Amino acid sequence: MAKGTIRFSDCEAEFRRLCAEIDAGRFAPVYLLMGEEPYFIDALCERIASTVLTEAERSFDQIVLYGRDSDGGTVASYCRQMPMAGNREVIIVKEAQRLDKIEKLASYTSAPLASTVLVICHKEKNADKRLQLYKSCKANGVVFESVRPRDYEIKGWLGGFVRAKGLEIAPSSVELLVSHIGTDISRIDNELTKLTVSLPAGTKRITDDDIQQYIGISKEFNNLELCKAVTERDVKRALEIADRLSQNPKEYPLLLTVSALFGSFREIFIVNYLTWQSRRRGAAFPPDSELLGLVKAGSPAMLQRLKAVAAKWDNRKVFGVLGLLREYDAKSKGVDSGGASDGELLRELLLKIFTL
């Protein structure tokens, strides 16, 4: 890991800490919320916006500005105003990455007023850490770096996210959701919100049937089932599923399907490598309790299936599959795709995997 890199687990922990601070009424004068993952930025901004001021005070002392329509100097001027109705004013800058002359805002963040809570929502990328704006926000307020989860991190997060809503979720349902949606936390949140309000009263556990009924993910034709068919070398079934997915490219873009397949073969590689170590080097093969954490299988039953599937693949072929998946990841983004559709590329990819 590069020096200074924020891990997703650190990002999530800091998010929870800041939520607790805000809920307790302990507000910083400046919040710089930045990074590629919009979910945490939006959630913190909304929490601040709904907590600092009462509903009546918001009409007078809460101002929302947009980067594309403003500039750093104008934002700084608003921040220096005194509250009209209460003890604080809240200034929210959305799309701050598009703010003209953003560095002029550093004149304010270097000496912020105690009566103003400034929230800078800098999405898509981090603010430039070399500039005075970043340094002054860090020195005088809160800097939060919002990190996107990797595919192997999303499953653990999703289970905790559901439990925070007072529900449990079957491991197979976690797999189904992640294979369909990927690591888009905002979309996962939206889909789960729709699901939870639709569940019958008294429901305590989300199942595959619930996901199929309320989110609309087919239990038979989805990325998870495609991964199972491919790793089990079921050519007919894999091509049948691929054909169905290609009929709905908006729900099943090739990029997401390739990512799901990559995750499956990466886990096969890990199991096979550990097996090789135990056989050739005398290293102890990890117990299931440890292996579950290494491969993120979700449940003991899924782990046993993974072991059985891994035994069907030599790691030299797994290397070949991973290389193909990297190639088709690029093609899914339009690189050397030859104008082929997602469906055509997926079928081509599967045939290459099966002929390795």
Kindly provide the residue ranges of all beta strands, DSSP E only, lying in 10-147, ordered along the sequence: 30-35, 62-66, 89-94, 116-123, 142-146
> Which phi and psi (to 5°) does residue 98 adopt?
-105, 10
Q: How many Cα atoms are found within 13 Å in the side-chain-facing hemisphere of 305?
A: 14
Residue 313 lies in a domain: yes
Q: What is the rounded distance in angstroms from the CA atom of residue 289 to the CA atom of residue 119?
A: 43
Q: What is the rounded distance in angstroms from the CA atom of residue 61 to the CA atom of residue 90?
A: 6
Q: What is the rounded distance in angstroms from the CA atom of residue 28 to the CA atom of residue 41?
A: 16
pLDDT computed for residue 27 by the predictor: 97
Last residue of a domain, one of 219, 243, 269: 219
CATH number, position 127:
3.40.50.300
Q: What are the tokens at 51? A: 């907590």
Residue 2 lies in a domain: no
Residue 158 lies in a domain: yes
pLDDT computed for residue 106 by the predictor: 96
Residues 265 and 289 grouped into a single domain:
yes
Residues 75 and 185 grouped into a single domain:
no
Residues 215 and 267 grouped into a single domain:
no
Q: What is the rounded distance in angstroms from the CA atom of residue 27 to the CA atom of residue 7?
A: 25
pLDDT computed for residue 285 by the predictor: 87
pLDDT computed for residue 85 by the predictor: 84
Q: Strands 116-123 and 30-35, how do they pair?
A: parallel
Residues 240 and 292 grouped into a single domain:
yes
pLDDT string in tens for the chain (356-residue length): 444 578 999 999 999 999 999 999 999 999 999 999 999 999 999 999 999 999 999 999 999 999 999 999 999 999 999 999 889 999 999 999 999 999 999 999 999 999 999 999 999 999 999 999 999 999 999 999 999 998 778 888 888 889 888 899 988 888 888 888 888 899 899 988 888 889 998 899 999 899 988 888 888 899 999 999 999 999 999 999 999 999 988 889 999 999 999 999 999 999 999 998 888 877 888 888 888 888 877 788 888 999 999 999 999 999 999 999 999 999 999 898 888 999 999 999 999 999 98
Q: What is the rounded distance in angstroms from the CA atom of residue 93 to the CA atom of residue 79?
A: 11
Contact 343, 307 (CB under 8 A): no
pLDDT computed for residue 278 by the predictor: 86
Residue 127 lies in a domain: yes
Residues 54 and 22 grouped into a single domain:
yes
The residue type at 332: S
* Alpha-carbon dihedral 111, 115, 121, 126, rounded to 10 degrees: 30
Residues 184 and 209 grouped into a single domain:
yes
Residues 304 and 240 grouped into a single domain:
yes
pLDDT computed for residue 1 by the predictor: 41
Residue 301 lies in a domain: yes
Residue 284 lies in a domain: yes
* Alpha-carbon dihedral 207, 211, 212, 213, rounded to 10 degrees: 100
Q: How many residues does the chain have?
A: 356
Helix, strand or coil for residue 121? strand
pLDDT computed for residue 266 by the predictor: 93
Query: Could you write out the DSSP letters of every residue in 272-298?
Result: HHHHHHHHHS-PPPPPHHHHHHHHT-S
Tally of structural domains, the chain: 3
Residues 75 and 128 grouped into a single domain:
yes
Last residue of a domain, one of 131, 146, 161: 146
Say which DSSP state 341 is in. -
Helix, strand or coil for residue 342? helix
Residues 229 and 215 grouped into a single domain:
no
Contacts of 20 (CB under 8 A, 6+ apart): none
Residues 172 and 116 grouped into a single domain:
no
CATH number, position 187:
1.10.8.60
pLDDT computed for residue 4 by the predictor: 57
Q: What is the rounded distance in angstroms from the CA atom of residue 147 to the CA atom of residue 145?
A: 6
Last residue of a domain, one of 107, 125, 146: 146
Residues 174 and 269 grouped into a single domain:
no
CA 22 to mean position of chain CA atoms: 23
CB-count exposure of residue 252 (10 Å: 0-12, 13-18, 19+):
buried
pLDDT computed for residue 165 by the predictor: 85
Boundaries of domain holding 189: 151-219
Q: What is the rounded distance in angstroms from the CA atom of residue 165 to the CA atom of residue 194?
A: 13
Contact 113, 143 (CB under 8 A): no
Q: How far apart are the first and last CA of the chain?
A: 33
Task: Report the run of H or E that residue 206 belongs to, with start and end.
Answer: strand 205-206
Residues 292 and 241 grouped into a single domain:
yes
Query: Could you write out the DSSP letters of every residue in 177-192?
Result: HHHHHTT-HHHHHHHH
pLDDT computed for residue 339 by the predictor: 87
CATH number, position 309:
1.20.272.10
Q: What is the rounded distance in angstroms from the CA atom of residue 117 to the CA atom of residue 89?
A: 6
Q: Which residue bears the tokens 């197979």?
A: 172
